[in-house]
Amino acid sequence: STAALAPQICVVGSGPAGFYTAQHLLKHHRLAQVDIYEKLPVPFGLVRFGVAPDHPEVKNVINTFTQTAHSDRCSYYGNVTIGKDVTVKELQRAYHAVVLSYGAEDNRILGIPGENLSGVYSARAFVGWYNGLPENRDLKPDLSSETAVVMGQGNVALDVARVLLSPLDILRKTDITEGSLAAIACSKVKRVWLVGRRGPLQVAFTIKELREMINLPGTRPLLDPADFTGLGDVIKDVPRPRKRLTELMVKSALEKPGEREASRWASATKEWGLKFRCSPLEVLPAADGKQARGIRMAVTRLEGSGESARAVPTGEVEELECGLILSSIGYRSLPLDSSIPFDSKLGIIPNSLGRVQGAPGLYCSGWVKRGPTGVIITTMNDSFDTAQSVLEDLQSGLLKLSNSKEGFKSVRSILHSRGVHPVTFSDWEKIDAAEVARGKLAGKPREKLVDPREMLQLIGH
Ligand code: FAD
């Protein structure tokens, strides 16, 4: 009978979405086999390659993911790029259900002249660089200018500013790569502006990250009192998190600092500030025509209020001198192959509760399902929802269980015929142990391997 057949399910991507989807499926179906495919040799997506090195507590979710990977009914296959090494169609032939949770591999661009000048980087590449993402390991960002501008006012923008301004003693104890630590040690950057098109009531960062910035040793905030005067009345009616966040900005900008803070600010050698109502127009080239020397911005005013307020140019223009510009205006998902529905305007796979529209047996979770916003907990909840949809479809008979789906057995022969060697979870554990051992020598939690060839060599591939 089909009742005893184990559903073969696979998940594409080993970030939080992939792991939380797998966890929920394994927990609530006692026979399901879940295979996780990952294009990099190493797992965990943005938990490893996005989350800031000085936020080790956020990375504790890796313990839960590791438990999931240790289940008898879960397998991890790294070093396999879906869409290139194996197609989604091939996965669908091998599995009863395929869950796409491959995240957001690209970033939104500013779309202004000069964006390609040297000294201009996406925050995504910069974050990838300091976190050891193989594709960004050779970024070599130019840190020779005193002023950096981050376009964007979200948590990623604050991460980037914090890493640029943190005392080396703090960074040295994190899992930041040795190459980027060495570069930051020689950095001339001492001022970071975080620029937003709208006002203080529209910033996208959260209070914990702001507080961290305000308390960052060796730095002082540059907040223009004029930006914050009179906000007290407006925020009475806004939701509590926004209210508390705004109150903290208002306090820092308008109130006299306490004695300790005042002396810390007075002796600070670095500074960071928030610049509002400025929309980028052009990156200005230096005399050599190659290097960025500043950014020209349109001064804006707000039309409407609250979250939906729009920035409209006033006609005034402002220029800011800076040799380092990081655009932090959002990540972006890409379609995996043309056979899968994709909404390129929203940058997501169109779905209802994780069921990909018009594609039975195909599901999605995480950033590629919702868009690239939200913390790990948000991603966890939406991944549980998707897993629930799969379970319901199994129960209702919408997903027909048959012997003909062999799961990894058939994918293995496809990979073999194409010369692709998957990395297993125990392979990863060898890489992990090597990284931790290397880190120990330097007094860090780990020293990441940044070259996939070195990773593969270590496990004898
Ligand atoms: P991802 O984590 O991106 O995982 C996708 C995985 O799919 C990756 O491993 C990728 O390599 C793989 N993949 C891509 N394409 C393919 C393919 N073709 N075949 C196989 N595999 C593929 N949240 C917090 O709660 N706290 C924080 O401090 C925090 N900091 C952040 C800092 C940054 C810079 C960023 C960008 C995000 C941060 N977040 C943080 C948010 C959190 O990282 C996301 O909510 C979460 O990672 C999204 O999960 P995901 O699985 O959808 O995507």
Ligand 1, residues 10, 51, 163: which to mutate, most atoms within 8 A of Cβ?
51
Residue 442 lies in a domain: no
Mean of per-residue pLDDT scores for the chain: 96
* Rg, the chain, Cα only: 24
Identify whether residues 241 and 311 lie together within a single domain.
Answer: yes
Domain enclosing residue 145, as ranges: 108-330
DSSP one-letter string for 10-60? EEE--SHHHHHHHHHHHHH-SS-EEEEE-SSSS--HHHHHTS-TT-GGGGG
The stretch 75-90 carries a mean pLDDT of: 98
The stretch 21-40 carries a mean pLDDT of: 98
Identify whether residues 165 and 230 lie together within a single domain.
Answer: yes
Confidence of residue 2 (pLDDT cuts 50, 70, 90): very low
Identify whether residues 143 and 281 lie together within a single domain.
Answer: yes
The protein residue with its alpha carbon nearest to ligand 1, atom 28, reads 51
The protein residue with its alpha carbon nearest to ligand 1, atom 6, reads 13
Residue 30 lies in a domain: yes
List, in order, residues 6 or more apart from 433 with CB less than 8 Å away. none
Identify whether residues 169 and 66 lie together within a single domain.
Answer: no
Lowest mean pLDDT: which of 52-66, 235-249, 420-434? Answer: 235-249
CA of 15 to the centre of ligand 1 (A): 5
Identify whether residues 99 and 113 lie together within a single domain.
Answer: no
Residue 336: closest CA among 89, 6, 159, 129? 89
The stretch 430-447 carries a mean pLDDT of: 97
* Model pLDDT for residues 351-395, shown as the tens digit of each residue: 999 999 999 999 999 999 999 999 999 999 999 999 999 999 999
Out of 330, 364, 383, pick the residue that ends a domain: 330
Residue 83 lies in a domain: yes
Residue 15 has pLDDT above 90, yes or no: yes
Pocket of ligand 1 (CB under 6 A): 12-18, 37-40, 45-46, 50-51, 55, 58, 81-83, 101-103, 105, 127, 156, 159, 331, 336, 366-367, 374-376, 379
* Model pLDDT for residues 387-396, shown as the tens digit of each residue: 999 999 999 9
Identify whether residues 188 and 263 lie together within a single domain.
Answer: yes
How far apart (Å, rounded) are the C-alpha atoms in residues 179 and 182? 5
What is the predicted pLDDT for the residue at 233?
83
Identify whether residues 153 and 8 lie together within a single domain.
Answer: no
Residue 444 lies in a domain: no
The protein residue with its alpha carbon nearest to ligand 1, atom 9, reads 45
Nearest ligand 1 atom, CA 43? 9
Residue 17 has pLDDT above 90, yes or no: yes
Identify whether residues 133 and 195 lie together within a single domain.
Answer: yes
How far apart (Å, rounded) are the C-alpha atoms in residues 123 and 296? 19
How far apart (Å, rounded) are the C-alpha atoms in residues 358 and 343? 13
Residue 406 lies in a domain: yes
Identify whether residues 224 and 363 lie together within a single domain.
Answer: no
Angle at the Cα of 314 (from 309 to 320), degrees rounded to 5? 100
Nearest ligand 1 atom, CA 40? 11
The stretch 180-187 carries a mean pLDDT of: 98
Residue 86: DSSP 8-state: B
Identify whether residues 26 and 125 lie together within a single domain.
Answer: no
How far apart (Å, rounded) are the C-alpha atoms in residues 386 and 24? 9
The stretch 419-439 carries a mean pLDDT of: 98
Identify whether residues 125 and 206 lie together within a single domain.
Answer: yes
The protein residue with its alpha carbon nearest to ligand 1, atom 34, reads 50
- CATH classification of the domain holding 257: 3.50.50.60
Confidence of residue 3 (pLDDT cuts 50, 70, 90): low
Out of 276, 303, 330, pick the residue that ends a domain: 330
Nearest ligand 1 atom, CA 13? 7
What is the predicted pLDDT for the residue at 1?
45
Confidence of residue 404 (pLDDT cuts 50, 70, 90): confident
**Which residues, listed in sequence order, are joined to residue 33 by a DSSP beta bridge?**
8
Out of 330, 351, 386, pick the residue that ends a domain: 330
- CATH classification of the domain holding 22: 3.40.50.720
The stretch 61-80 carries a mean pLDDT of: 98
How far apart (Å, rounded) are the C-alpha atoms in residues 61 and 47? 8
Residue 99 has pLDDT above 90, yes or no: yes
* Model pLDDT for residues 101-156, shown as the tens digit of each residue: 999 999 999 999 999 999 999 999 999 999 999 999 999 999 999 999 999 999 99
Identify whether residues 224 and 308 lie together within a single domain.
Answer: yes
Residue 234 has pLDDT above 90, yes or no: no
Number of independent structural domains in the chain? 2
ipTM over 0.95: yes
Residue 451 lies in a domain: no
